[in-house]
Structure 1
């Protein structure tokens, strides 16, 4: 199976998602959050750094639950940044 390359908007959305996770994690360690979500620390690292810009739904849901973040809020914020190409949203 061949993967279609991601568009710039999809990459931006993935970067925004990673930033949101890092902010929500706060002072908690990556290992602690990953364990609470039932994912590997390497998976969380890849998502947070934008190297995995399109994580699986259940991975996103588990991370949101572990971080006490609404899936609706995550989706809305990531979509806004990607659709508008808003560079300022990335620094928020």
Structure 2
């Protein structure tokens, strides 16, 4: 299977995700957080550095749980303001009048 190159938006989203996880981890070690989440420390290091811009959903869910982050909060922090999904998702973007 050939993986397509990441778009600049995907790379930027991965960098925002990494920054968020680093801030949430604070003074906890990468080793501790990774082991508690069931991922390798190298995987967490790559996500935090932005080298893995599109990690698997279960990986992010496990890390978010360990860091006490809701998945909604993670998405709000990393989404692209111009993303088409934002305009149609509940609580995001433009709203319809009722």
Q: TM-score range, shorter-chain basis?
A: 0.7 to 0.9
Residues of 2 paired with 1:29 and 1:82: CA distance?
A: 34
Q: Which has the higher contact order (CA 8 A, sep 6+)?
A: 1
Equivalent residue number for residue 6 of structure 1: 6
Q: CA RMSD in A?
A: 1.3
If the length of structure 2 is used for normalisation, what is the TM-score? 0.81
What 5-or-longer segments of structure 2 have no aligned partner?
84-98
Q: TM-score, normalised by structure 1?
A: 0.86
Secondary structure of the residue aligned to 1:15 is helix
1:55 is aligned to: 55
Q: Which residue of 1 aligns with 2:30?
A: 30
Deviating above 6 A after TM superposition, structure 1's stretches of 4 or more consecutive aligned residues are none
Larger Rg: 2
